Structure 1
Amino acid sequence: MNIENVLRQNSIKVTKARRTIFNIILNSENSISAEFIYNACVETGEDINLSTVYRTLELFEEKEIVDKFDLGEGRYTYCIKKNSHMHTLRCSLCNKEIDVPCPMHQVEELVKNKTGFTLTEHHLILKGICEECKNKKS
């Protein structure tokens, strides 16, 4: 993956700090915290402030380059956004279907951070009543 191309395609100015931060996240097997990224920069001799790391992560999240996971207690981790699979919502009354992004990524990160388990699969069934059917009942 060419980091500079990814940044340019997302209308992000290419800087050394942004390339470095992107590269650290890209080469991490797990989601990582801003502090981890900052410490990795310090270890390699990069002159980057922690505030630069946070601003860059916010920009990457805004441009949908990274996923941000809320671990609770004000702690967050980040990973490169991958093409995620979708789940289907089906109305119990009219059988209308809509696809939604998988909400399990957050749960997977919480499980990994709390227990050390890496989930290899999940099954999620979502049922409900669509807005139109709800309005008809009213």
Structure 2
Amino acid sequence: MGHDHDPGHAGGHVAVGTAGDGSAPLAERLRARGLRLTAQRRRVLAAVEALEHATPETIGARLREEAGAEGSAPDASTVYRNLELLERLGLVWHTHLGKGAPVYHASEHPHVHVVCASCGEISSVAPDLLDSAAERLAADLGFTVDVGHVALSGTCRACRERASETP
């Protein structure tokens, strides 16, 4: 459904894998809360990273596909519980891109999503791009903006250019 384009974003996805190959920080965060790094948690996080911006249903479908006919895939409630836990740990984030279920993505850095209403392209930009608007909302309304959970909708350059070429 689109790609991340983020010149102001350092791009760090969270490392996932078996012990010793990048999952140690995740395992440590879980252990600090009295939890284990289960295969299900590792698989859910890996699916979020691979899919970039996906609904819980899409993540579950990916896990069922990976498990195959004889494999064991988590049910929908297990996917949701693991997503909630991984979000509390700061390993995944959910964003409302408009209509429908929120999408989840893995990132080590906060960012703002912009979504093209024409083609669905999702891009990420540094949150400081909205600093002046956030400061104005705080001053005028006493409102604090959580830019990570919403997306700005508009029209991307490619769609605007296509529209201007059409007679």
TM over 0.5: yes
- Residue of structure 2 in register with 1:94 after alignment: none
Aligned to 2:44: 21
The TM-score normalised by the length of structure 2 is 0.53
SS at match of 2:53: coil
2:80 is matched with 54
Q: What is the CA-CA distance between 1:19 and the residue it aligns to?
A: 1.1
Pairing 1:9–2:28 present: yes
Structure whose residues are more often strand by fraction: 1
In the alignment, does 2:61 pair up with 1:39? yes
CA contact (8 A) 1:70 1:76 kept: yes
CA contact (8 A) 2:16 2:45 kept: no
The question of 1:124 aligning with 2:147 is answered no
Structure 1 segments unaligned to the other structure (5+ residues)? 85-101
With a CA cutoff of 8 Å and minimum separation of 6, indicate the structure with the bigger relative contact order.
2
- How many angstroms does 1:52 deviate by? 0.3
TM-score (norm 1): 0.63
The 4+ residue runs of structure 1 with deviation greater than 6 A are none
Change (3 A) 1:73 1:10: same
Q: CA RMSD in A?
A: 2.9
Say which SS state the counterpart of residue 74 (structure 2) adopts: coil
What is the aligned length?
109
Query: Based on CA coordinates, which of the two structures has the bigger radius of gyration?
Result: 1
* Aligned-residue identity in percent: 23
